[in-house]
Structures are given as C-alpha cells and as structure tokens.
Amino acid sequence: MTTYDFIASNKRKTVLLIFIFSALILLLGWLVDRAYDGGGFFLGFAGVYSVISSLVSYYAGDKVALATSGAKPVTKQQLPNLVNTVENLCITAGMPMPKVYAIIDPAINAFATGRDPQHASIAVTTGAMEKLQQNELEGVIAHELSHVRNYDIRVMTLVIVLVGIVSVIANMFFRFSLRGRRRRGGGGELVLIGIVLMIFAPIVAQLIKLAVSRKREFLADASGALLTRYPDGLANALRKIAAESLPMAGASTATAHLFFANPFSGRAWSSLFSTHPPIEQRIAALEKMGGLV
C-alpha cells in the first residue's frame, strides 16, 4: 500500500467515523428523550452540540493544542537547525512548509497539528533539540510530518471531539436520571437500556479512540522512516525517550494523543489508557524495516 493509499484510507475513515459517532450521539439523545419525555429537546441538543463542537475543533483545534502545550513560534534566525530540518524534509516529502514552534521542556518530544498539510504546525521540545543527534531529530520530525501528510490529525481530532460529546451526553443522562426517575411511570425497559448504553458507550468510544490512535502511530513511524530512509534514527530517538522516561511538565490528557511519545512517561497509571503503543513494539517494527529502505 502506497502513501497515497494511506491518505485515501484516512479520508474514507474520517467520513466513516463521523457517521458512526454521529449515529451513536443521536441514538443516545433519542434515548434520553424517550426515557424522560424530552419532546425532542435532547435529540436536538445532541445534534446541534455535536455539529458545533466538531466545527470548532476542526478549525481551531490546532490553536488550542499549541496554546495548551506552551508552544512558541520560532524563525530560522532563532533556531536555524530546527527550521532547516523541517524545511528539508518537507521538500523531500513534497508538502507545504508548516509553521514551526518550540516548547521549552527538557523531555524529548514533539507534535504536529492542523487539519491538512496547508494548515499545519509542528512543535518540538528543547529537550529533543538538545539531546537528539541530527538523524534522530530528523526521524522524529519526519514522523510528525507523516501525521500531517497522512491526514492522521484530522482523523484523531474528530475522534477526540466525538468521544468527548458521547461522554457529555452520558453525564447529562445520569444527572437527569437522578432527578427525574420517579417522574415517569412506564418505560422501565427503555430506561434500563438507556442506562446500559450510557455506561458502555463512553467506554466503547474510548476504546475506538485508543485503537485508532495506536494504529496511526505505527503508520507514522513507518512513513517517517521511509521519508528519511533511515529507520535507525527514529528507533534510536525512541530508545532515548525510553531510557530517560521523563514526563512533560505541561502535559495534558486533551493533547496527549498528538505527541510523538506519551507525554506522561514515568507515570505508571498512564500506560493503561495510553494513546501510544509501547515503545518496545515501535522499535521492533522499525528494526524490521531496516532492510527494506
């Protein structure tokens, strides 16, 4: 499968994910309506809220991610090696030059954001710039540029937003359940079904998010290695991250899926619901690519 096939696949998955999550959200809104005689209010609220949230995240999610992480824009005069590295890899990949940001943090990490290659940004920590050799830094940046080129960020942004919407509606259901359960005489079976769905819908949505995110990381590793033609550079960067296990000071669960490596490294509980596959598995996959590039 070529890079163009992956891009086309991601675009198709974007449409499919929107359809699946939208159907789930509307189903939950309908169940709340039926259970508590909402008269269409909850169904309408679920539909409008999902559309507005998706649009806001689609067009402004990158700005929120950059601000949350404390990323600052940089120029070629300020950080020539970083900007030149991004520029050279973009030329090789045949993609537009993204805006370049730096994050003052000793951890080795980076992330890319933006809805498409024409509206993308890449942020790299000072720890990555200081601790990685040039071929390792190139591997990390190539990985992030691959996320942009493969439209991974668009897919994950929509997944994150829709998972959040499912959680909001679930929370709303339980609040009304506590306040209004005794107001309705019948429909006990429907209420029970609704409660079961409200409990498991957020869990299923979260599992979908984790599965999609981890698969995208493996794809970006492979695409990045093909871009630099040197899988060992990316693998060595991952080894350094595993060795230092240093969490980022400004890490947020809202943006953790964007980063090159889990920004909560070093916190035992974080690996249970990590959006990233284990570093050992990523290194093993890159080692298998060694003779293919």
Query: For residue range 97-130, what is the model confidence (pLDDT) as tens digits?
Result: 999 999 999 999 999 998 889 999 999 999 999 9
Q: Distance (Å, rounded) from C-alpha 174 to C-alpha 177?
A: 5
Please list, in sequence order, all residues whose beta carbon lies within 8 angstroms of the beta carbon of residue 266, skipping any fewer than 6 positions away: 245, 246, 247
Q: What does the mean pLDDT of the chain come to?
A: 80
Q: Supply the DSSP symbol for 182.
A: G
Query: Could you tell me how far CA 30 lies from the centroid of its own chain?
Result: 29
Q: Distance (Å, rounded) from C-alpha 273 to C-alpha 250?
A: 19
Q: Which of 3-12, 24-33, 183-192 has the lowest mean pLDDT?
A: 183-192
| Share above pLDDT 90 across residues of the chain, in percent, rounded to a whole number | 32
- Mapped onto helix, strand or coil, the DSSP state of residue 243 is helix
Residue 132 has pLDDT above 80, yes or no: yes
Position 106 scores a pLDDT of 94
Q: Given the structure tokens 């990523």, which residue do they identify?
A: 282
Q: Distance (Å, rounded) from C-alpha 28 to C-alpha 25?
A: 5
CB distance 150 to 220 below 8 Å: yes
CB distance 43 to 26 below 8 Å: yes
Q: Distance (Å, rounded) from C-alpha 129 to C-alpha 124?
A: 7
Range of the domain at 211: 3-289
Please report, for residues 90, 121, 146, 230, the alpha-carbon distance to residue 226 in angstroms, rounded to integers and kept in the order given. 13, 21, 10, 7
Q: Distance (Å, rounded) from C-alpha 194 to C-alpha 184?
A: 14
Position 186 scores a pLDDT of 46
Which is higher by pLDDT, 32 or 223?
A: 223
Position 94 scores a pLDDT of 93
Amino acid at 67: A
Residue 201 has pLDDT above 80, yes or no: no
144 tagged catalytic: yes
Exactly one of 87, 144, 217, 287 is catalytic; which is it?
A: 144
Q: Distance (Å, rounded) from C-alpha 149 to C-alpha 236?
A: 23
Q: Which of 10-19, 76-85, 283-292 has the lowest mean pLDDT?
A: 10-19
**Starting from the edge strand earliest in sequence, which strands make up the sheet with 110-114, in order?**
72-73, 99-103, 120-125, 110-114
Q: Distance (Å, rounded) from C-alpha 54 to C-alpha 60?
A: 10
CB distance 230 to 135 below 8 Å: yes
Please list, in sequence order, all residues whose beta carbon lies within 8 angstroms of the beta carbon of residue 171, skipping any fewer than 6 positions away: none
Q: What's this model's pTM, rounded to 2 decimal places? A: 0.78
Residue 259 has pLDDT above 80, yes or no: yes
Please list, in sequence order, all residues whose beta carbon lies within 8 angstroms of the beta carbon of residue 109, skipping any fewer than 6 positions away: 103, 124, 125, 127, 128, 241, 248, 259, 260, 261, 263
CB distance 161 to 196 below 8 Å: no
Q: Distance (Å, rounded) from C-alpha 72 to C-alpha 290?
A: 35
Report, in this order, helix, strand and coil percent for the chain, each rounded to 5.
70, 5, 20
Which is higher by pLDDT, 235 or 256?
A: 235
Q: How many domains does the chain fold into? A: 1
Mean pLDDT of 36-62: 77
Span 151-186, pLDDT tens digits: 888 777 777 777 777 777 766 666 666 555 545 444
Which is higher by pLDDT, 188 or 12?
A: 12
